[in-house]
A and B are shown apart, each in its own frame.
Chain A
Amino acid sequence: MRYDLTLEIGYDYGAPAPSARCVLRVAPRRVAGEQRVEAERLRVTPEPGEIAYRTDFFGNSVTEMGFTDPLQVVTVRLSARIERLARPPQLDLTPRLDRLAAEIGTRSALGPESPDHFVSASPRIGYEPAIAAFAHALIGPQMTALGAVQTIGQALHTHMTFDAEATDVDTEPGHAFAEGRGVCQDFSHVMIAGLRAVGVPAGYVSGFLRTEPPAGQPRLAGADAMHAWVRAWCGAETGWIDYDPTNHMMVGTDHIVVAVGRDYSDVAPVKGAVRSAGVQASHHSVDLVPLGE
């Protein structure tokens, strides 16, 4: 499936704010065999005094910008053409949960894909006893890793309701879980906490969802803005699989990957004073349209 993507993020400070520096993680990720980026263009107004491109530890594209003059309004506009390749359906070859730990141990390395980064607490996801108990009650040692991912994902979908007003970007997973409400970030953080508690290495993915569903299918939740879901490491053979807890589904060709990390703090689309200092108004829109439709 090929898509045209448009993302626009804007901030209005009301009055000129002091010069600022920020980093963006908004550009689609190149994933061998899964996602190709055919064209990509980033426009920022006003034009930043400095701009630099690099990839971070986890291989995400990062744009770093510095504005020299005071800012009143900033707009970031990204357009890209992307090909999303379907992963062929697989048999569940993932190991049983009671054997997963041993498999993690055999792959000791510090590279970005190593499950070791995703086993324990990360900046935004600490050990959450309530979520851990919830997850433990759902699984047994005989269950496969993939089975655990789908079981916990399904159960969360029942336990939690999508609610754009209940939480904000700094809400802790334990709070969202207790409230039973939240957006894709909360669903993902809660699920990651649960998976880690039962020994499944789990990380956070930011990305986009197809805006309009194929004919006859419902519109997915979270399609109007940047979306987030979960990746889980399911053994040496299968590696990483992606699961979208907000829409309780395995991730397929309707999802475009932007960045991966341990939690939101590793992949936040915009970091820096541009986002935090005295923003009066902001807007954020996404359009992901399949080509030829």
Chain B
Amino acid sequence: MDKTAPAAAEDAVARLVRGYAPPAGVADEMLDAAGQVRPVWRPFLDRFAHLSAEDLSRRFARGDHYLRDAGIFHRQVDEGGASERDWPLSHVPVLLEEADWTRIKTAVIQRVDLLESVLADLYGAGWLVREGVLPAELVAGNPAFLRPMVGVRPPSGHYLHFAAFEIGRAPDGSWFVLGDRTEAPSGAGFALENRVATMRVFSDPFDHDRVHRLAGFFGGFRDALGASARALDGRMAILTPGLGTETYDEHAYIARYLGMMLLEGEDLTVVGGRVMVRTVAGLKPISVLWRRLDAAFADPLELDDRSALGTPGLVSAMRAGNVCMANALGAGLVQTRALLAFLPRISDYLTGAPLEMPNIATWWCGQRREREYVIGQHARMMVGPALSQELPFEATGDTLIAGRFQDGRDADPAMWIEKHGRDLVGQEAVNLSTTPVWEDGAFRPRPVMIRVFAARTASGWKVMPGGFARIGASEDATALSLRRGGRVADVWVVSPDTVPTESLARSDGPFRRAADSLLPARAADNLMWLGRYVERAEHMIRLLRAYHLRLAETGRADDPRVERIGAHLEALGVPREIAAKGAVSETLDAAIRAASKVRDRFSVDGWAALRDLRADLADHSARLTPGDEAARALSELLRGTAGFAGLVHDNMYRFVGWRFLSIGRALERAAGMIATLRDFADAEAPEGCLDAAVEVGDSVMTHRRRYQIETNRETVIDLLALDARNPRSIHFQIALIRRLAADLPGAEVSGALSEPMRAILRIETQLATAEPSELDDRALRKLARGVAGISERLTAAHLS
């Protein structure tokens, strides 16, 4: 900025914040108690004030665009399935002074160390309960207390490796904790994405040299996990509940970002007390699991026996000291709401020191004096389940807030608390600070809460210098406004000096190529099916186009050729109109579903291409008339599938996963071509169907050049089935599969070919030696069975 004109800048900032009026009685992040702009915000506001409305909206759009391209959406999962909406980024970051931050950091480290000691005691010696510091029933009656873990010392020596804390700023300006997250804390990956998006918004001329970077945060954590993994002779991986969870995108993002395997319970099996992952090359040991799956679901044998997400024997492997879990199973116990009531005492008992950052004042109503206090004060409190693992503002129906039940029931609060005391806690209704959001061309104050993250590294706890801010939808400063419809924002910790850069990749040490990552069998299976579904959709679109072209030509739906293609389509489940609902869109949905399960291994561009394709289809199908117009729209869609194929072919690294994707495509293409030939090159087929087959096989030009005659059955079979140089022919697909499969693990062991390789070679040889006339319908049917057999054998050998 122009340093020679401070007065002008002053005016611009003053104009910008004029009319910004935080509610009385709460702190504000941008303005101090006297209503003056806090110094840490001033340089940012100076620059902000000089952006035109157009420039601002362009910048905001840039951030949103980045998020959409990166595939970051706000997912909601309920009984009806998953739905997505745009990621609700509030583009204006929350700015914190470094000095403020340092105090938060120190307090967070004290707190996470304390929680570690509490876990070690509750799953170990049990002094806290025996000495009466913590009531026994809050542990023994707590579903988060996992009895199989009692007396099991985690192999790393630690219960906690990664934790999050929800913090807010009180009216007096100090920070306090609203809740602890130790089970499987989410948000750190989203914080990184928020940062990238926000930096796109506030790129030049914003000066970022003083904003602490987030990139280094994960490095030490990953290194520590990696060291534990090597010490236990295995690999590290992230354990996710899968697509059914709202934070799955984050799991996939972190897995990609850190280059870790993303596994689900069914990928794992326990053999001889060791956790093994099923890969395309057989079972391989896993020794560290960064667990994003709630512990109760982790092992149906010893934890919740109704879990379908877990791995039988996981607890046993942990007991045997062969797998380190981050966090240990059972670590969720200390995020119990009622514990907040006792943590100040526990801190004193275990460490002799008070908490450096208080938590939200909490009273357990299982104690007479506390219960009476809560009954007396309930109008100024939230009263809810004592053993809840949720944050205070995530209130269930039976929560009493300011004297009113959330589910609207009409009951006497005092009697209710008296009767159910031991199941309840009272928590003070807190007021959060406000932070500016940009709305209708002006800053508006909205309550904010920040999730901060701590990760254990070889040199102790590291706290992410930033965080995941959640911003309320309305001005209501109680934490409750965060429940629904809120937004999220980046958090900038701003230093008075330039901060050093740090990135994820370590720059010290000699150059070393990271070991090839293992490909889990389930991921390979999904990649193969992704290939199949995309090809299947493309094939259907080609057939549809052939149908509509004939329709446009003849103008008659009862033309025999039109009729034959239409019947063929119907046999595939494809209605003759391009319909939004139908086999094509279902197949694309299936492709997207398969891709969703391997997002950690799949390029962001490929993902975007698939989604675009799906959107285009929906777009076209709504407003097209059959015939020529439909045919043209279908041609456009084909360019979309070609784009996807190009991305896969040109950009995807030749990992084993790419082989399975390509094999899937080739298998499907072969199967589709066989079916097409059986219907269109049949002796009974109406005249003109052979041309349709050549067209569906995208080989019109080639046919003309190679044979220089009209199509007949022999030329068509020769070109579409037997010609090894035609990239659409069956022979070409089988030869391609053979080359791809030859590099799969175990394809050839001491000169002996694997089952799938033998099946592939048999078929390839048949195709290489056959004459067109030999390939009658019976032979084609046999060929179809052979292709299905290849798929089955590959699945048996590598994918189960």
A217 part of interface (Cβ distance < 8 Å): no
CB distance from A273 to the nearest CB of B (A): 7
Binds B, one of A36-44, A116-124, A221-229, A236-244: A116-124
Q: Which residues of A contact B139 (CB under 8 A)?
A: 110, 116
B305 part of interface (Cβ distance < 8 Å): yes
CB distance from A206 to the nearest CB of B (A): 15
Q: Which residues of A contact B130 (CB under 8 A)?
A: 108-110
Contact yes or no, B316 A64, CB < 8 A: yes
- Bound: A91/B642 CA distance, A: 87
B199 part of interface (Cβ distance < 8 Å): no
Contact yes or no, A21 B270, CB < 8 A: yes
CB distance from A236 to the nearest CB of B (A): 14
Chain B: CB-nearest residue to A110: B126
Contact yes or no, A117 B301, CB < 8 A: no
Chain B: CB-nearest residue to A273: B312
Beyond A108-B130, A114-B136, A119-B141, is A23–B301 a contact (Cβ under 8 Å)? Answer: yes
B395 part of interface (Cβ distance < 8 Å): no
Q: Which residues of A contact B270 (CB under 8 A)?
A: 21, 66
Q: Which residues of B contact A110 (CB under 8 A)?
A: 122, 126, 129-130, 136, 139-140, 150
A265 part of interface (Cβ distance < 8 Å): yes
Q: Which residues of B contact A120 (CB under 8 A)?
A: 137, 141, 422-423
Chain A: CB-nearest residue to B135: A108
B147 part of interface (Cβ distance < 8 Å): yes
Contact yes or no, A265 B301, CB < 8 A: no
CB distance from A87 to the nearest CB of B (A): 26
A268 part of interface (Cβ distance < 8 Å): yes
A30 part of interface (Cβ distance < 8 Å): no
Contact yes or no, B147 A109, CB < 8 A: no
Contact yes or no, B305 A265, CB < 8 A: yes
CB distance from A272 to the nearest CB of B (A): 5
Contact yes or no, A57 B129, CB < 8 A: no
Contact yes or no, B129 A108, CB < 8 A: yes
A271 part of interface (Cβ distance < 8 Å): yes
- Bound: A272/B316 CA distance, A: 13
**Number of residues in A with C-beta < 8 Å to the partner?**
28
- Bound: A58/B132 CA distance, A: 22
Contact yes or no, B150 A119, CB < 8 A: no
B187 part of interface (Cβ distance < 8 Å): no
- Bound: A268/B301 CA distance, A: 10
Q: Which residues of B contact A66 (CB under 8 A)?
A: 270-272, 313
B148 part of interface (Cβ distance < 8 Å): yes
A139 part of interface (Cβ distance < 8 Å): no
B321 part of interface (Cβ distance < 8 Å): no
Contact yes or no, B313 A21, CB < 8 A: yes
Q: Which residues of B contact A279 (CB under 8 A)?
A: none
Q: Which residues of B contact A117 (CB under 8 A)?
A: 140-141
Beyond A21-B313, A109-B130, is A272–B136 a contact (Cβ under 8 Å)? Answer: no
B302 part of interface (Cβ distance < 8 Å): yes
Interface string of A80-124 (1 = CB under 8 A from B): 000000000000000000000000000011110010110111010
B774 part of interface (Cβ distance < 8 Å): no
- Bound: A52/B140 CA distance, A: 27
- Bound: A22/B312 CA distance, A: 8
A50 part of interface (Cβ distance < 8 Å): yes
A56 part of interface (Cβ distance < 8 Å): yes
Q: Which residues of A contact B304 (CB under 8 A)?
A: 123
- Bound: A20/B311 CA distance, A: 11
CB distance from B416 to the nearest CB of A (A): 14
Contact for A119 among B140, B148, B271, CB less than 8 A: B140
Interface string of A259-291 (1 = CB under 8 A from B): 000000100100111000000000000000000
B575 part of interface (Cβ distance < 8 Å): no
- Bound: A292/B141 CA distance, A: 45
Contact for A23 among B143, B147, B302, CB less than 8 A: B302
Contact for A57 among B126, B132, B147, CB less than 8 A: B147
- List which A190-219 residues lie within 8 A (CB) of chain B: none
- Bound: A56/B126 CA distance, A: 17
Q: Which residues of A contact B136 (CB under 8 A)?
A: 108-110, 114, 116
B300 part of interface (Cβ distance < 8 Å): yes
- Bound: A114/B126 CA distance, A: 13
Contact yes or no, A272 B301, CB < 8 A: yes
- Bound: A20/B148 CA distance, A: 20
Contact yes or no, A268 B316, CB < 8 A: no
- List which B654-708 residues lie within 8 A (CB) of chain A: none
Q: Which residues of A contact B273 (CB under 8 A)?
A: 50, 52
Q: Which residues of B contact A108 (CB under 8 A)?
A: 129-130, 132, 135-136
- Bound: A271/B129 CA distance, A: 31
Top 6 closest pairs, chain A to chain B, by CB: A116-B140, A120-B141, A57-B147, A116-B136, A108-B136, A21-B312
* A–B Cβ pairs within 8 angstroms, 30 of them: A21-B270, A21-B312, A22-B301, A22-B312, A50-B271, A52-B273, A57-B148, A58-B147, A64-B301, A68-B271, A109-B136, A110-B122, A110-B126, A110-B139, A110-B140, A110-B150, A111-B126, A114-B136, A116-B136, A116-B139, A116-B140, A117-B140, A117-B141, A119-B141, A120-B137, A120-B422, A120-B423, A121-B141, A123-B143, A123-B304
